[in-house]
Amino acid sequence: MTHASPARPTLARWLTGPRVAGLPAKLHDGEPPLLSFEFFPPRTEALEAQLWTCIRRLAPLAPRFVSVTYGAGGTTQARTHATVTRILAETALTPAAHLTCVGASRAEVDAVARGYWEAGVRHIVALRGDAPPGQDYAPHPQGYRFAAELVAGLHAIAPFEISVAAYPETHPAAISAAADLDNLKRKLDAGASRAITQYFFDTDTYLRFLDRALAAGIEAPIVPGIMPVSNFAQAARFSAACGTSIPAWLARLFEGTEDDPEIRRMVAAVAAAEQVRLLQANGVDEFHFYTLNRADLTYAIAHILGVRPAAA
């Protein structure tokens, strides 16, 4: 560099730009954040083994609950039940069973819920579910029409703890963002105690959603759903279907890593860690992880958030 070249702006930025806290992450009130982990019920013995490796790896992080999804249209009813009851029997974890009302009568859904209560399951993630691909959603003629009705129905059965879904980018079928927020309020007013969000990558979108929820009089926790992305192409396809937008910077981050899984995982860890730290810096101290039945990314991000295995 010669004396004639213009000064590089680094020093000016350092003096005037925003500061972010360095690692390790700051803990609110000295406490690590509260975590929950989501799994899907396995289809094969090999996937079952993978799930249990994942559960055993994450269990020492003492999540406040772990949830097990319900396949589209209730297709995994038996497998969800088997996974949830095995978690109850073989671990100290608190399981939450996802339950959808699409394609089933109230009596059928109620019977599944009663079965959970009798098995000792006390937490349900209550959802409407989706129509099969290519079809529009239509409620079952004798069914719960929407998740808010399901929440009320569950409450009539037993004093379940109930979580519901929230959509920072608005549910794709909602008439408007305001109507979707009204719907969230109805679900909470019907007896749900928290909302878990659809995953998102743009932190501002989530924080603006919290502002709107607060303005609508919602005071229940709205826990951010975090999807650590390791397969970008797959995540992009999935996101298009569920209404999550992919910011250009995220696509750019993964560009050129298609044939390099190891680098992709490192990039994935950094992207998700940055997202949770940004949320944490904004006061968020509860996180729900979509683990996809793989422990390592979730474990690493939890570690970065300040969570350590509970003493044995």
Ligand X SMILES: Cc1cc2nc3c(=O)[nH]c(=O)nc-3n(C[C@H](O)[C@H](O)[C@H](O)COP(=O)(O)OP(=O)(O)OC[C@H]3O[C@@H](n4cnc5c(N)ncnc54)[C@H](O)[C@@H]3O)c2cc1C
> Could you tell me if 281 and 20 are in contact, meaning their C-beta atoms sit under 8 angstroms apart?
yes
Q: Measured between alpha carbons, how far is 304 from 15 in angstroms, rounded to an integer?
A: 27
Active site residues: 38
Q: With respect to ligand X, which residue has the nearer C-beta, 33 or 143?
A: 143
Find, among 290, 218, 311, the residue nearest to 301 by Cα. 290
Q: With respect to ligand X, which residue has the nearer C-beta, 184 or 297?
A: 184
Helix (H), strand (E) counts: the chain: 11, 9
AA identity, residue 251 = A
Q: With respect to ligand X, which residue has the nearer C-beta, 74 or 306?
A: 74
Q: Measured between alpha carbons, how far is 240 from 250 in angstroms, rounded to an integer?
A: 14
Q: Measured between alpha carbons, how far is 228 from 58 in angstroms, rounded to an integer?
A: 15
| CA angle centred on 154, ends 137 and 180, rounded to 5° | 45
Tokens 């250009």 sit at which residue? 248
Residue 51: count of CB within 10 angstroms of its CB: 22
The residues that touch ligand X, with contacts defined as CB under 6 A, are 69-70, 72, 98, 100, 125, 127-130, 146-148, 165, 171, 173-174, 179-180, 183, 187, 196, 198, 225
* Shortest Å distance, C-beta 179 to ligand X: 6
Look at the chain and count its residues.
312
**Cis, peptide link before residue 95, omega less than 30° from 0:** no
Q: Measured between alpha carbons, how far is 271 from 5 in angstroms, rounded to an integer?
A: 35
Q: With respect to ligand X, which residue has the nearer C-beta, 70 or 209?
A: 70
Q: Read off the tokens for 208.
A: 């603006």
Q: What are phi and psi of 70, to 5 degrees?
A: -115, 120
Q: With respect to ligand X, which residue has the nearer C-beta, 180 or 285?
A: 180
Q: With respect to ligand X, which residue has the nearer C-beta, 175 or 263?
A: 175
